[in-house]
Structure 1
Amino acid sequence: MKRRVPWYCLILATAGLVSIQAVGQAPKPAEATHAASLPANIDVAIFRAQVQLDRAGFGPGVIDGRKGRFFAAALKGYQAAQGLPQSGELDGGTRAALDKDAAPALMTMVLKDDALTADFTPDIPPKIVDQAALPHLGYRDIVERLAERFHTTPQLLLALNPALRAPQAGMELRLPSLIPADRAYDVSLSPQWRDTLATLNIGARQPQAAKIVVDKSESLLKVYDSQDRLVAQFPATTGSAHDPLPIGKWSIHAIAFLPTYHYNPDLFWDAAESDGKAVLPPGPNNPVGVVWIDLNKPHYGIHGTPEPARIGRSQSHGCVRLSNWDAARLAQMTSTATQVVFQE
């Protein structure tokens, strides 16, 4: 009798990770969200809440176990969605609501040989025009790949797994528990995009967005369903003083998965005089990340980024920038019927 391998084992195998449990069991929860098991600079309660908020669709920014404005904003958004007082604090009522998701905040997995021999792009030139010569803008190394896959920073990943500084096959890793239960992606999506969704730990089931509201003052993108209920929220970079967010109502023209990037220096006030036009290959380190949601305003869109830790801290050229994982998740919620509102 042929033994059926569960979906999550297949997905983890393609990503170079396997559960340390036997085939047929879920990935092993780490015994882990108590103070003795986490580094001293990681707040256990905040770490757990960040993981739960991320799983619920209210992005706290990169998961780092620390308080910050996007953690507070995620709490406030989640509280609004749950009908709780919007304190922006991890209060008792919010803690009780989050704990309805009883899954662990950490999981333990094992690194495989193929993870160490993946198609990395270790030397990415700093200048955009020079990046056009590369065949692919992939992850630089295994740490960057795992950090993005588990919605965290290389710093936290190494704090949890110091031995990852010298990665070896068979190494046991502790990771934020973000593997979704459902990865039965729509078969109309390309195999490459389905692999990307799996790599970024994006579940197949997402709420459908009737409206997106980007709030410039809060640096947030909010998703509302057809009943005008807040169903998701993500940190965002929203333009700059030189290239402000184009306030108004817009529509989605198209969605490009794993896009190439057409660089035109004539559109950038800060481009070098020597720059020429260039076409950059796709990949997570592409300037617009893994997805481009094209708006009906020429040259403007909502997109990913290769620098998730800088969301809300850096400036854009007027577009809306999300982490790759949030942009991919948003793309699964939206269509050309979704309304887009940019507001102060």
Structure 2
Amino acid sequence: MFVRSILALSLSCIFAGTSFAANTHAEQPLNVSKANPPVIQDPIDPLAIDAPSASVPSTSTGEAIISPEEQKDLNQAANTLQNLENTEDSTADIGSAPASSVATTTTAEPTTTAPVKASWTLDGLNNATWYDNIGKGQFPVYARAHVMLNNAHASPGAIDGTSGKNTLKAISSFQQMNGLKPTGVLTQETWNALVAKQAGKPAFVEYTITEADLKGPYAKSIPGDYALQAKMPGLYFTRVTEMLGEKFHMDEDFLKKLNPKASFNKVGEKIIVTSIRNELPENITLIVAHKGAKQLYLFNAQNQMVGSFPATIGSSDTPSPTGTYKVTGVAPNPWYSYSPSNFVQGKNLKPLSLPPGPNGPVGNIWIGLSKKSFGIHGTPNPSTISKTASHGCIRLTNWDANDLGKKVKSGTTVKFLE
């Protein structure tokens, strides 16, 4: 039997396109065409979950009643994040090392600052090395850095080999977690620390497409009309490249660019993909949703930052709540229930139940909060995370939300910061 949590918030989400700037002095950029971003509606309504929510002590508004020790931890975490935000150089070229940068010798990785040519081949990606003044754009060195950041629990979101805000925030989080000055700049020191964490493992590998990959199940398309969605057996992936992108934490277009000759429809076909982790550290006791940074930060019982994700957190029209709440439960593959009493979608005047799937309105996982109608969830559009607005909830990529859902426990504190 399903327990239903009422959600009644709606907003049109406008996808932000990303432009790619080339650096002609070093690496070879990909030729990326810029498409006009689509506009979609993603209203969140009653959500059916397959497990009862835990009861946590809270006020009438859902704000959690926390202990003095929890408040102390919150204050310390808030100070940590405030210092991080003050230190971050949000205007910096991500790959430009400041004059004060100090190279370390934590690994055998070359420490030369001379530009090194790199290509978009498997060897080129795995051998891409840091050099001074990389510049903004899409380059193999960023692609390798994205994988290493992901594996160090500082998620850059959808891996696309591009410099940008999500890259800066991931670098800053990695620096904070590893005792480096959290500037967000990819310095030689930071690069060496990433390489050391990667411990000799390749960032990219060759993957062989299997029969199971092609079997699916897949949907021919996901219609916009909820009445049509409700008739589907599941809101599945619509193509193999979409599924593989999520499996390997990659932007779908980037996956295609790395494999321009691949058909993605033959068993035994070999393609280049990332070599990424799919687990988080244990003992997550505090989650901080930082609205200004558009970032989710994870802390352990020792109040150390152990992970971070780019996140879409509310909007000016439908802001996320303020205050402190608790996780009440985790629902994998939730049903999404539509009720016209909350809003009318198209010509649908009767309640509808939309089946589970990665292309559902809240992705394929729901982490409920003690604040009624709010939670942490996935999305069918991973490349838009932190670049668009949400309905007040915390939206992550499906893989980041699933990673978190596997480790977070009922009663975990969730704090919203401005």
Q: TM-score range by the shorter chain?
A: 0.7 to 0.9
Residue 71 of structure 1 aligns with which residue? 167
Number of positions where the alignment pairs a residue of Structure 1 with one of Structure 2? 287
Gaps of 5+ in 1: 1-28, 36-40, 181-201
Residue 290 of structure 2 aligns with which residue? 215
The secondary structure found in structure 1 opposite 2:216 is coil
Pick from 373, 393, 396: which aligns with 1:322? Answer: 396
2:148 is equivalent to residue 52 of structure 1: yes
2:237 is equivalent to residue 139 of structure 1: yes
The secondary structure found in structure 2 opposite 1:80 is helix
2:158 is equivalent to residue 31 of structure 1: no
Residue 82 of structure 1 aligns with which residue? 178
2:395 is equivalent to residue 299 of structure 1: no
Residue 84 of structure 2 aligns with which residue? none
In the aligned structure 2, how far is the partner of 1:160 from the partner of 1:46? 14
2:268 is equivalent to residue 170 of structure 1: yes
Gaps of 5+ in 2: 1-120, 129-136
Query: For residue 116 of structure 1, what is the amino acid of its counterpart?
Result: L
In the aligned structure 1, how far is the partner of 2:386 from the partner of 2:225? 22
Query: Could you say if the C-alpha distance between residues 274 and 283 of structure 1 is closer, same or farther in structure 2, counting changes exceeding 3 Å?
Result: closer
Identity, % of aligned positions: 34
The superposition leaves residues 234-275 of structure 1 with CA deviations (integer Å, 9 ceiling, x where unpaired) of 01111111110101100111111111112234445x854745
In the aligned structure 1, how far is the partner of 2:190 from the partner of 2:175? 7
Residues 129, 277 of structure 1: 8 Å contact kept: no
Query: For residue 144 of structure 1, what is the amino acid of its counterpart?
Result: E
Alignment of 1:151-230 (within 5 A): 151-165=249-263, 167-178=265-276, 180=277, 202-203=278-279, 206-230=281-305
Alignment of 1:94-105 (within 5 A): 94-100=190-196, 101=198, 102-105=200-203
Residues 290, 304 of structure 1: 8 Å contact kept: yes
Query: Could you say if the C-alpha distance between residues 333 and 114 of structure 1 is closer, same or farther in structure 2, counting changes exceeding 3 Å?
Result: closer
Query: For residue 123 of structure 2, what is the amino acid of its counterpart?
Result: E
The superposition leaves residues 170-228 of structure 1 with CA deviations (integer Å, 9 ceiling, x where unpaired) of 211110111x4xxxxxxxxxxxxxxxxxxxxx23x633211000000010010000111
Residues 129, 275 of structure 1: 8 Å contact kept: no
The superposition leaves residues 75-94 of structure 1 with CA deviations (integer Å, 9 ceiling, x where unpaired) of 00110111101110110111
State the shift of 1:331 in Å.
1.0
Pick from 321, 339, 342: which aligns with 2:413? Answer: 339
In the aligned structure 1, how far is the partner of 2:339 from the partner of 2:369? 18
In the aligned structure 1, how far is the partner of 2:342 from the partner of 2:262? 41
The secondary structure found in structure 1 opposite 2:261 is helix
The secondary structure found in structure 2 opposite 1:98 is helix
Residue 104 of structure 2 aligns with which residue? none
Query: Could you say if the C-alpha distance between residues 63 and 166 of structure 1 is closer, same or farther in structure 2, counting changes exceeding 3 Å?
Result: closer
Residue 326 of structure 2 aligns with which residue? 251
The secondary structure found in structure 1 opposite 2:284 is coil
Higher helix share: 1
State the shift of 1:70 in Å.
0.7
Residue 282 of structure 1 aligns with which residue? 356
In the aligned structure 1, how far is the partner of 2:164 from the partner of 2:191? 17
In the aligned structure 2, how far is the partner of 1:278 from the partner of 1:308? 25
In the aligned structure 1, how far is the partner of 2:142 from the partner of 2:328? 38
TM-score normalised by structure 1 residue count: 0.79
2:205 is equivalent to residue 113 of structure 1: no
Pick from 338, 345, 348: which aligns with 1:263? Answer: 338
The secondary structure found in structure 1 opposite 2:380 is coil
Query: Could you say if the C-alpha distance between residues 30 and 325 of structure 1 is closer, same or farther in structure 2, counting changes exceeding 3 Å?
Result: same
Query: Could you say if the C-alpha distance between residues 68 and 315 of structure 1 is closer, same or farther in structure 2, counting changes exceeding 3 Å?
Result: same
The secondary structure found in structure 2 opposite 1:125 is coil
State the shift of 1:128 in Å.
3.0
Query: Could you say if the C-alpha distance between residues 265 and 241 of structure 1 is closer, same or farther in structure 2, counting changes exceeding 3 Å?
Result: farther
In the aligned structure 2, how far is the partner of 1:246 from the partner of 1:165? 45
Query: For residue 277 of structure 1, what is the amino acid of its counterpart?
Result: P
The superposition leaves residues 73-125 of structure 1 with CA deviations (integer Å, 9 ceiling, x where unpaired) of 00001101111011101101111110111211110021123322221012210
Query: For residue 145 of structure 2, what is the amino acid of its counterpart?
Result: A
Residues 226, 348 of structure 2: 8 Å contact kept: no
In the aligned structure 2, how far is the partner of 1:320 from the partner of 1:266? 24
